[in-house]
């Protein structure tokens, strides 16, 4: 790995090395359950982010996004691409704690406390809220807002309703930047989750891949088939770029 004290902080390899050192790698289901319990009892405003191949590519070229990811309080590994990167670096990747599977479990853990959904647009936002009310957290009060408002509005809504859990579904890099500003603005314990497409999934806008594709680590292929134009850059261009950078970083580490 690179040495943060001697290398150029604008170098993507150093950015990757710094974030990789921050990622929590959970090695067993028992550890995963302990992590879930810990996350569900925040003592201060706490940001949870997920690092996947797209995040690593974005971080390589965007200083604000790199800083937002690095400032997150907790970062988890998301996706098979990150597992490949850790293996190339001869590090155990741990369990795949992707947000699409973990966040519904978190919502259940917060049942009975206030929950905010900030992201996507109607009608999927209302459908997601209905699913939370009916299936995941029937005893919670919900606050919701679409994902296209200014950050100050989200801060005001959160300060007014004081939810214990705030789920952001705005996509990278905006949700990570909004999360950092929410944490700075709020003065009560809460977990702020950078959820990507989770509200779209909950609202039925974006269907999940078949279970066998999820287990095989190729859910991205399913999503690409559904939205080829929007996701072409992320997957068709981004995945080979990520793998090239992963190989270069591994080579640098060996040297």
Place of tokens 């550890």: 31
The residue that leads in pLDDT, 208 or 26, is 26
Beta pairing partners, 75: 49
DSSP 218-231: -HHHHHHHHSHHHH
Tokens of 2: 């690179």
- CB count within 10 Å of CB 122 equals 10
| Percent of all residues in the chain with a pLDDT value above 90, rounded to a whole number | 82
Distance CA 176, CA 70 (A): 10
Whether the CB-CB separation of 163 and 113 falls below 8 Å is answered with yes
Distance CA 71, CA 65 (A): 10
Whether the CB-CB separation of 96 and 144 falls below 8 Å is answered with no
Tens digits of residue pLDDT in 50-88: 999 999 999 999 999 999 999 999 999 999 999 999 999
Whether the CB-CB separation of 196 and 176 falls below 8 Å is answered with no
Whether the CB-CB separation of 227 and 152 falls below 8 Å is answered with no
The secondary structure of residue 135, as a DSSP letter, is I
Tokens of 148: 């296209």
Section 121-130 average pLDDT: 96
- CB count within 10 Å of CB 141 equals 13
> 23-206 is classed in which CATH architecture?
3-Layer(aba) Sandwich (3.40)
The whole-number pLDDT of residue 6 equals 42
Tens digits of residue pLDDT in 204-241: 998 888 888 888 888 888 888 988 998 899 899 999 99
Section 170-176 average pLDDT: 93
Whether the CB-CB separation of 142 and 129 falls below 8 Å is answered with yes
Most confident of 1-5, 118-122, 226-230: 118-122
Distance CA 87, CA 214 (A): 19
The secondary structure of residue 24, as a DSSP letter, is B
Note the pTM of the prediction, 2 decimals: 0.91
Distance CA 28, CA 177 (A): 31
pLDDT band at 253 (very low <50, low <70, confident <90, very high): low
Tens digits of residue pLDDT in 179-189: 999 999 999 99
Section 31-40 average pLDDT: 96
Residues in the chain: 255
Distance CA 219, CA 239 (A): 13
Section 83-108 average pLDDT: 94
The whole-number pLDDT of residue 106 equals 97
């Amino acid at each position: 790995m690179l040495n943060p004290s001697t290398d150029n902080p604008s170098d993507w390899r150093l950015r990757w090395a710094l974030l990789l050192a921050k990622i929590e790698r959970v090695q067993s289901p028992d550890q995963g359950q302990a992590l879930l319990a810990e996350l569900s009892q925040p003592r201060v405003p706490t940001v949870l982010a997920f690092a996947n191949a797209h995040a690593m590519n974005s971080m390589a070229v965007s200083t604000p996004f790199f800083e937002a990811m690095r400032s997150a309080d907790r970062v988890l590994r998301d996706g098979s691409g990150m597992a490949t990167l850790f293996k190339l670096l001869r590090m155990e990747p741990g369990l795949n704690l992707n947000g699409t599977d973990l966040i519904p479990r978190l919502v259940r853990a917060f049942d009975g406390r206030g929950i905010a959904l900030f992201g996507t647009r109607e009608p999927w936002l209302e459908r997601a809220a209905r699913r939370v009310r009916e299936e995941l957290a029937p005893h919670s009060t919900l606050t919701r807002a679409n994902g296209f408002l200014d950050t100050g509005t989200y801060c005001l809504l959160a300060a007014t309703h004081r939810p214990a859990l705030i789920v952001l579904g705005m996509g990278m890099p905006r949700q990570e930047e909004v999360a950092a500003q929410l944490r700075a603005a709020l003065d009560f314990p809460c977990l702020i989750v950078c959820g990507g497409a989770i509200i779209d999934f909950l609202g039925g806008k974006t269907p999940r891949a078949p279970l066998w594709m999820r287990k095989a680590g190729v859910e991205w292929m399913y999503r690409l088939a559904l939205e080829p134009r929007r996701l072409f850059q992320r997957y068709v261009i981004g995945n080979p770029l990520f793998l090239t950078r992963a190989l270069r970083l591994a080579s640098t580490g060996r040297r």
